[in-house]
Structure 1
Amino acid sequence: MAEAAAAETPSTPVRAPGRIGRQVRVPKTAELVAGHLRRQIVRGELKPGDALPPESGLMEQFGISRPTLREAFRVLESESLITVRRGAHGGARVSAPDADVAARFAGLILEYRGATLGDLYRAAALIEPQCVRQLAGKHTAEDVKRLRDAVAAEKNVLEDPLDLVHAQDAFHALLVDLTGNQTLILLCGMLRNIIDRANASYTAGAVDAEAQRAQALKGHRAHVRLVGLIEAGKADEAEKLWQRHITAADDVVNGAGPKTVLELID
């Protein structure tokens, strides 16, 4: 990738051949370099923790200047694909693609669009009960053990409202994780990231601590019952229970006041 072939200047639109009036954006050299390194990371050619070659080596490899290379690094840093330490003993190291990063970006977009927490709960109510039905129809002894361990973790923090919120949200996430569907896991991870923060905000600001605790204990009992239904293979009952459970949580949290995601987690 020679510098002469791709100038280190802001990208310039050019007209696409054969299409009058249409313009094509020519990528900047830094974007091309970032794209090359990104592909190596997502294909597993560069592993998490691997150090990238020294800047001088990368500059020679790509035929670019130091400012262009550092601009490429900034692109990859913004995507959490590398971490960069400055100084004489610094350098760039590869990071694993992180679902939490995607969730944070999705949260920002939902906040900007004024999405309500009810929107998120209704989305979860469309997805999670189907995951529960699938688990009840097909699961392993290890799946059931992980679910029982998750409800045991809840039981250990029943007296700590905030820890209980996080443990219960982890149980919801586990139901999706056990399907093994990576697309669902990522999408639901985005939802749960925001719901978890909103639930924690609601719990921390609860005026009636006793009512809040009673609701949390009711949720814990629903989790325990669900595991029993999944283990017994009762798909219809498990699905209906989880549908009611999510709907009830939606009613409680949204009945507490503010409606938008931003208001609830700000």
Structure 2
Amino acid sequence: MEKELQKLFGVSKSTIREALKSLEVQGLITISTGPTGGATIIEVPLERTLLFLQNYLFFQDVTMKDIYAARRLLEPELAAGAVPYLTEKHFRALEENIENCQPTSRDETRLVYQRQADLDFHDILASANPDPFLRFLCQMINEMLRRLVVFSTHTPPEEHAEFGCANAKCHTNLLEAARQRDAERVRHLMRAHMDEASGFVERLNGQLDGRLILDSEMMSPPFKLPPGRS
């Protein structure tokens, strides 16, 4: 392939390799070695998009209120639009997420991880919505919240547990309405959920970790809560 590209563009081998490496860094291709190796076009990973977006937002004055104002507009429409397309597999995944995120533990680290895993509920709904742009926006915000939100170290575990109980209740109500294929009720419940969640984040002094993200931080996927509630 490299020889064909050299001939096509009239450039040297090193120039082609530099160009391919640049495309790989941008997440547009992967390069494999060996006799059958070469460049393969791939879908740009969400994590890569987050890296570019967060490094842009590093120079902007974005607050948690700004993010939840956007979520309040987007999440109700995303959830309502997903309702007709939810399958039994989606419903089982939503049920398992609610079960895993019940705040039965008082370990502060696990409670914070559970709040991150709560976002998986929203990603499951997003996966059923046929609108690719709306789906992308919501998943992008969820990824930012997972990776970049930090809470005050002085927050009592009971506060995190209360947040978790409220999320579990909202998610349970959303699941019931979705099973009934009541898109309008899902929209209403999700809007109320966003209002309540925003209030909890403010109470818990949730802040965006305003920093640049390195490539090395994108190598591992976001935290996924393991099964069990201990």
Q: Select the structure of larger CA radius of gyration.
A: 1
> What TM-score results when the alignment is normalised by the length of structure 1?
0.66
How far off is 1:89 after superposition? 9.8
Give percent identity, aligned residues only.
23
* Length, aligned pairs only: 206
C-alpha distance 67-75 of structure 1, shift in aligned 2 (>3 A): same
Deviations 1:105-143 (A, max 9, x none): 12222232121122111111101112223344x345x1x
Higher relative contact order (Cα pairs below 8 Å, separated by 6+ residues): 2
C-alpha distance 185-105 of structure 1, shift in aligned 2 (>3 A): same
Deviates most, 160-169 or 105-114: 160-169
1:262 aligned counterpart, secondary structure:
coil
- In 1, the alpha carbon distance for the partners of 2:123 and 2:42 equals 23
Deviations 1:60-96 (A, max 9, x none): 3432112321331232022111234689997544433
2:30 aligned counterpart, secondary structure:
strand
1:178 aligns with 2:128: yes
- In 1, the alpha carbon distance for the partners of 2:51 and 2:154 equals 25
Note the residue ranges of structure 1 that are not aligned, 5 or more in a row.
1-52
Instruction: Identify the residue that residue 48 of structure 2 maps to in structure 1.
Output: 101
Asked if 2 retains the 8 angstrom alpha-carbon contact of 1:117 and 1:195, the reply is: no
- In 1, the alpha carbon distance for the partners of 2:79 and 2:195 equals 15
The one-letter code sitting in structure 2 at the alignment partner of 1:202 is F
Asked if 1 retains the 8 angstrom alpha-carbon contact of 2:30 and 2:41, the reply is: yes
Instruction: Identify the residue that residue 118 of structure 2 maps to in structure 1.
Output: 168
> What TM-score results when the alignment is normalised by the length of structure 2?
0.75
- In 2, the alpha carbon distance for the partners of 1:233 and 1:171 equals 17
The one-letter code sitting in structure 1 at the alignment partner of 2:99 is K
Deviations 1:171-221 (A, max 9, x none): 11222221111111112222111112244x338x46211220121122012
The CA RMSD over aligned residues, in Å, is 2.9
Instruction: Identify the residue that residue 26 of structure 1 maps to in structure 2.
Output: none
- In 2, the alpha carbon distance for the partners of 1:86 and 1:149 equals 38
Of residues 168, 180, 185 in structure 2, which corresponds to 1:237?
185
1:112 aligned counterpart, secondary structure:
coil
Instruction: Identify the residue that residue 152 of structure 1 maps to in structure 2.
Output: 96
1:80 aligns with 2:30: no
Note the residue ranges of structure 2 that are not aligned, 5 or more in a row.
214-230
